[in-house]
Structure 1
């Protein structure tokens, strides 16, 4: 599997409810419409490791069968709409977005 990982910074406190509504009602449906997408997982962080501050506010994983499938999707209208909406969110809510791409590796859990 090949993933796009998107990490969002926190919106201004007074914009948090509006950000969450926009993310849920506009951005996630736009992302879910991207062709070749196998799975979309979005997480709202509550805290960081061992009770520390979270390094990011939201993270989304877009999973594709291959890098080629993701790259093909980048040329679609749906991808363009998702990217345009990310720009709207950055401007409207004062958030930042960091994105990484890579191959998924799985490991079996050790003995319990």
Structure 2
């Protein structure tokens, strides 16, 4: 089991600007958060013809709740959080999820 912070980004005003800033600035900031066991992100697409609810989703994984809480309080997370306003013009929805593999 692990714990995940999920960051869902709304449709940005300028997708190309979002991509450039996210890849060149935000990823290095977020990767520095202590306690991360994994960090993934990707663009979202619909399984039908509708518009997806989000533009992209990032997942920050921690081994346990204590590691997550420590990482979220860190100076590195504060820097990453402060950067969000620089590129996430479509808004952000965040939540925490305890994940458990059902295949193992």
Q: Is the TM value for this pair above 0.5?
A: yes
Stretches (4+) displaced over 3 A:
none
Instruction: Give the TM-score taking structure 2 as reference length.
Output: 0.91
Please, which runs of 5 or more residues in structure 1 have no aligned partner? Answer: none
- 1:9 paired with 2:6, answer no
CA apart distance, 1:89: 2.3
Instruction: Give the TM-score taking structure 1 as reference length.
Output: 0.85
Greater RCO, CA 8 A, separation 6+: 2
Larger Rg: 1
Question: How many residues end up aligned between the 2 structures?
Answer: 103
Q: Which one has a larger percent helix, Structure 1 or Structure 2?
A: 1
Please, which runs of 5 or more residues in structure 2 have no aligned partner? Answer: none
Contact 2:17–2:87 (8 Å) recurs in 1 = no
CA apart distance, 1:36: 0.3
